Amino acid sequence: MRITEAAQRLGTSPRMLRYRDLLGLLPPVRETTPAPGRAPSGLPRGHRRFGDDDLAAVAHALGIEQRYDISPASLAFGLKVLTEPGIRADVAELGRRLGRIAPLPARALDFEQERARRLLRLPAGPRPAAAPRSGPAPAGSPPAGSPPGRGSRRGGGPPPDPRPGG
């Protein structure tokens, strides 16, 4: 069916269906009938043919708009957020900054950073340092706060020179 009949069945106007098409809220065109002449864009004109599946999709979109009291543009943006990872990440970050979305756990953040690095083909980032241990030190380890390279040898001083005559 043509756009006028589809609009009548849906209880909207042909102009509103064209607007929804520009926003990406109509299924891709599968079938057109030729029309004489060319559109102002220079592209061939054609009349979109609406099938039952197309009408069902538009009716579903209309229902969402009415149920949640949103505009067609808002619904189109919601679809864009769901389908474009960059936009989704930006909107999620805004939600975290506004306190409407819980902050990412540190491990999830590390995973997301590593994933982004892989996608961008960047070298792996530094690994977080291990947390300091609590409890007794293992046997034979230097006491805490001792200078590096000095163990708990008796007599202090530097270690003996391993070279002959030293």
pLDDT tens-place string over residues 109-123 = 677 788 888 888 877
Domains, the chain, in order of start with CATH, read 1-36+44-70 (1.10.1660.10), 84-126 (no CATH)
Residue 12's pLDDT band (cuts 50, 70, 90): very high
Reduce the secondary structure of the chain to three states and give it as a string.
CCHHHHHHHHCCCHHHHHHHHHHCCCCCCCCEEEEEEECCCCCEEEEECCCHHHHHHHHHHHHHHHHHCCCHHHHHHHHHHHHCHHHHHHHHHHHHHCCCCCCCCHHHHHHHHHHHHHHHCCCCCCCCCCCCCCCCCCCCCCCCCCCCCCCCCCCCCCCCCCCCCC
For 61-85, how does the pLDDT look when each residue is reduced to its tens digit (9 = 90+)?
999 999 999 999 999 999 999 999 9
pTM of full prediction above 0.85: no
In this predicted structure, what is the pLDDT of residue 110? 75
Span 16-40, average pLDDT: 76
Most confident of 33-37, 66-70, 145-149: 66-70
In this predicted structure, what is the pLDDT of residue 152? 46
Whether the pLDDT of residue 145 is over 60: the answer is no
